[in-house]
Structure 1
């Protein structure tokens, strides 16, 4: 594993964009520790002005950076990359642009969209937020209430059932009905731009209740039936069929499960590019912002948060949280700016989990692992352990955006988004891995 950018921050790395005035710094802390109805309490104009000043400063490339720029200028002509590429490399400390090619051209970003979703979720909900799944009892019925936890497991459900059974037996009850309440997330369950073939394979219709991340059409009923079976196994009779319902206001709390902290969930979501978790984060972020938990409202909050951080949203269009929507469009420059935010020490208490969650080249179990054939060519093998980056893959769209320490010893942020190449997807990924190795400087 490489020395991470967040480790560099801990060792005292500083940068121009992180120099917030004390009032803004206090406001940012308030926004993190006590998000209120999604109101981001820091000043939009000050963040934007700080970043703009850094980006408009005169930039002179050092020899290592000039080599990156020259090599990228040549290597993006690789026929595997086709003719539609948006790319940029910036210096993480000074924000100067090292290289760019159609950097403000909006392309289909695939799962690089998750970087925007994570930024909004961590900012609005806070890194310590936990998702709660509850069991309540009312008038002979146990209701399993979904809280948007896409990480709920059979073990968690078993613990809920065990606690519920103990309460029922203490009350002298041996028979109940079971229903599921997933009303936290309203319809629609499918986003604009999702192909029919995406569900339930790549993603399940978005609901507030699921167990073991199973991909079925109705994850809530599936979880409820699993819960009912667990009750039966522990000696409680379940009468009738599991159905959808609403927990009554008079219902008595029986059991509760809290998920891991959001910071942990975001890191995992980015490592494996979990589409379902990303969509749950989008919905829950909308709720925390005082809006309905819909795709439309969730993406509106993402735009609001990025704007208040000073990120330009010119030609920025998203319709979901995962990046599966084929209607999404984001320029490489915007993706790089989002990574720049996450890598900024000033935002470390809130956003460092994005950088820490980026897959590392050659990291087994991540989307840059050897099992996916990444960083295994003669050009890119040298970058194993040296590049941290978010992948993105859809038919006709492949992206790679992240960070690496270049030959001058400075961290560089890069984003490459390719659309419409007719080459084999594995070959396109190899070419993008080579571009990342070029930024690192090991492929000189």
Structure 2
């Protein structure tokens, strides 16, 4: 699903080209001294240590941080916190980038509440910033944080399991947090279940769904009523074919019951919700694709529902309850404790970025991407870079059908920019990476809140900033 709260779902794309396809040089392996690192060497042991370290209780205060808004609700203003770099040894191309960004960030289309930052990935040198530490509503750029935590806690090879059990004349479909579960998967599970039923001489069953893995509430703080079920469904552990309905669990159970009926089993009564018994007999199960593939799709099309499911499964993987609050606390812990990313002014209330209470500075978003592009974290966080939409590539949120990178200033960057989009009413963001004129990878993040310009005009201005970082709009 698109990161716009009103846009229609997009078709999941085929596997995207790697960074190598965007360059004649090898895939992204930045080097250079990391001056600000607090993070430690990462491996399975570190992941286990992280999980063990996150003990209950998770206080609500863990989610809180200074708001970017004053008590009266008006946006707080900040002066640029990183002046243009005018050092004598600055690369001429970087100096032009600095000059151009300083001029273009005040584009009237972006409004008065805009922030941005650019890092040089090779040297880890902050090249330019404008209100970079001001916490703004990040929209779907929040998914970068969600993906980082999920891959770190669960691992890229993790799979989610959906099960069917039998007991007392009832088949129970048990949700396991697989947002990519399809009706074909349910058909295969029904086939296995029917074989067992018929072998036992049974031709009639009740059907129940167990989605107790995710407790209530199913809606996050900061979600508008108009968001669900189209932009995001109430979050449950069971869903089929990504159906945007209010009760995805009952819907999945009904699809499963239909498969049973088609195979000659009589379904007794309506599908209802009930927890499976510990004495039930397992009769079928299905495993999801690897988490790396799930993250790839989530970022490419900005799927809100997948993000919310991953937030809860990450909380479970860290030994917490599968709630919005605990999921957000685990995300904060991963960013800070594992990767040394600043949480100053950060507020997270969901996994998708639909919450209008979220606040993340551009500098934090850039730091997340910085870690994802480090060679030492490539085996864990590589799916984030690979999943970023490519400017002009069909199927992602930077595709031509979304009106991205299609104006005279930014069209030169088609195929040269990877970035995560973010779109809500009153908030547009773009964070990603591209090569500069010096051949080094640049990491950027731009976030605006409250512009009164047309959303497409704001996006054109954002795309122009990315093209400026690339250097093709000189």
Superposition TM-score, scaled by structure 1 size:
0.92
Judged with a 3 Å threshold, the aligned counterparts in structure 2 of structure 1 residues 404 and 148 are, in CA distance, closer, same or farther, namely: same
Query: 1:6–1:356: 8 Å Cα contact kept in structure 2?
Result: no
1:279 correspondence with 2:296? no
Q: Deviations over 1:151-210 (max 9, x none)?
A: 101111111111111111111111100000000000000000000000011000000000
The runs of 5 or more residues in structure 1 that have no matched partner are: 41-57
Give the counterpart of 2:367 among 329, 333, 337.
Answer: 337
Partner of 1:188: 217
Q: How does 1:58-77 map to 2 (within 5 A)?
A: 60-77=89-106
Residues 107, 407 of structure 1: alpha-carbon distance in 2 compared, 3 angstrom cutoff: same
Identify, as 1 or 2, the structure richer in helix.
1
Residue 341 of structure 2 aligns with which residue?
311
1:11 and 1:357 mapped to 2: Cα distance?
14
CA shift for structure 1 position 79:
0.8
Aligned to 2:269: 240
Residue of structure 2 in register with 1:54 after alignment: none
Match 1:215 to one of 237, 240, 244? 244
Question: Equivalents in 1 of 2:437, 2:91: separation in Å?
Answer: 10
Segments of structure 2 that go 5 or more residues without pairing to the other structure are: 1-16, 55-86
1:147 aligns to 2:147 (yes or no): no
Cα RMSD over matched residues?
2.1
Match of 2:354 among 289, 310, 324: 324
Deviation at 1:4, TM superposition (A): 6.0
The CA distance in 1 between the partners of 2:204 and 2:362, in whole Å, is 58
Check 1:8–1:20 CA distance in 2 against 1; reply closer, same or farther (3 A cut). Answer: farther
1: distance between equivalents of 2:231 and 2:420?
A: 18
Report 1:251-270 matches (<5 A): 251-270=280-299
| Candidates 29, 40, 45, aligned match of 1:30 | 45
Q: When the two structures are superposed, what TM-score results if normalisation uses the length of structure 2?
A: 0.86
2:382: which partner in 1?
352
Cα 1:106–1:217 shift into 2, 3 Å: same
Q: 2:453 aligns with which of 419, 423, 427?
A: 423
Q: Which residue of 1 aligns with 2:34?
A: 17
Residues of 1 paired with 2:150 and 2:456: CA distance? 31
Indicate conservation of the 8 Å contact 1:6/1:343, yes or no: no
Alignment of 1:388-403 (within 5 A): 388-403=418-433
| 2:3 alignment counterpart | none
2 CA distance for matches of 1:115 and 1:103? 17
- CA apart distance, 1:5: 8.6
Secondary structure, counterpart of 1:253 in structure 2? strand
Q: What is the distance in 2 between the residues matched to 1:138 and 1:37? A: 34
> Is 1:102 paired with 2:141?
no
**Shift of residue 64, structure 1, vs aligned partner:** 0.9
Supply the distance in 2 between the matched residues of 1:355 and 1:277 (Cα, whole angstroms). Answer: 17
Q: CA deviation at 1:257?
A: 0.4
